[in-house]
Amino acid sequence: MRILDIGSGSGDVALTAAKMVGSTGEVIGVDVNGEILETAKHRAKKTGLTNISFIEGDARTLEWEDNFDAIIGRLVLMYMAKPTETLKELKSYLKPGGIIAFQELDLTLFQSLTHPKTPIMNQLMQWICEVFQRSGAHIGMGLELYRTFIDAELPEPKLDFAAPMGGDQLWSGYQYIANSFRSVLPLLEEYNIASAIEVDVETLADRLRKEMMTAKRPIVLTPHVTAWTKLPSL
């Protein structure tokens, strides 16, 4: 299979796809951020994959042949002003019977997860939603995927919803949340949403663990929605 990965970033999705298609397949990753693509290229070289390449640019304006077996992307449509138009453009690069698949966050669901007994987690959810909004993201893109596919005149997509959750004392999710906030801390401070002192990343995992044990309520991590479909075959 020949696959086009949109918004490759550091290459997570492209590298996974390259392993799936094997040595006879090909994956092309595209991203507007040339600097982050250097990380992707380094990772591909380190893994020894030779069936993958990365191109700097906007996939919507680069010239492609209509010979891709699949076009995929993760956490990319949420940053586009016109995701429907993007899918309309991208599908023209697919072969008949080709696959189009995207996975996006849906942070709007966090609003239903707040609880009086989990003030720390409530605050974290508020902060993460705000930082994504301030960075220009559509935080409800996950649940908009179905409509976006239909409006792009694609066949009705199959859908999947995933939201990892847990709460036992040894759950790795506490540290995952702390690491996530460590990575977004510069934006939290840049947007004046929260300071490093308020977030207190170094103690965050332990504080979340204690809160969960007291509240006896599991923590739900960021919800993801996946949509995929196939074009009609000739």
Q: In sequence order, what DSSP letters do the residues of the chain get, joined into one string? A: -EEEEES-TTSHHHHHHHHHH-TT-EEEEEES-HHHHHHHHHHHHHHT--SEEEEES-TTTS---S-EEEEEEES-GGG-S-HHHHHHHHGGGEEEEEEEEEEEE-GGGGGGT--TT-HHHHHHHHHHHHHHHHTT--TTHHHHHHHHHHHTTPPPPEEEEE--EE-STT-THHHHHHHHHHHHHHHHHHTTS--HHHH-HHHHHHHHHHHHHHHT-PEE---EEEEEEEPPP-
Confidence of residue 66 (pLDDT cuts 50, 70, 90): confident
Domain range spanning residue 109?
64-230
Encode pLDDT of 1-49 as tens digits. 999 999 999 999 999 999 999 999 999 999 999 999 999 999 999 999 9
Within-domain flag for 21:
no
On average, the pLDDT of the chain sits at 95
Within-domain flag for 188:
yes
Within-domain flag for 5:
no
Within-domain flag for 23:
no
Output the pLDDT for position 64: 84
Within-domain flag for 88:
yes
Within-domain flag for 19:
no
**CATH classification of the domain holding 72:** 3.40.50
Within-domain flag for 165:
yes
Within-domain flag for 196:
yes
Encode pLDDT of 89-129 as tens digits. 999 999 999 999 999 999 999 988 999 999 999 999 999 99
Total tally of structural domains belonging to the chain: 1
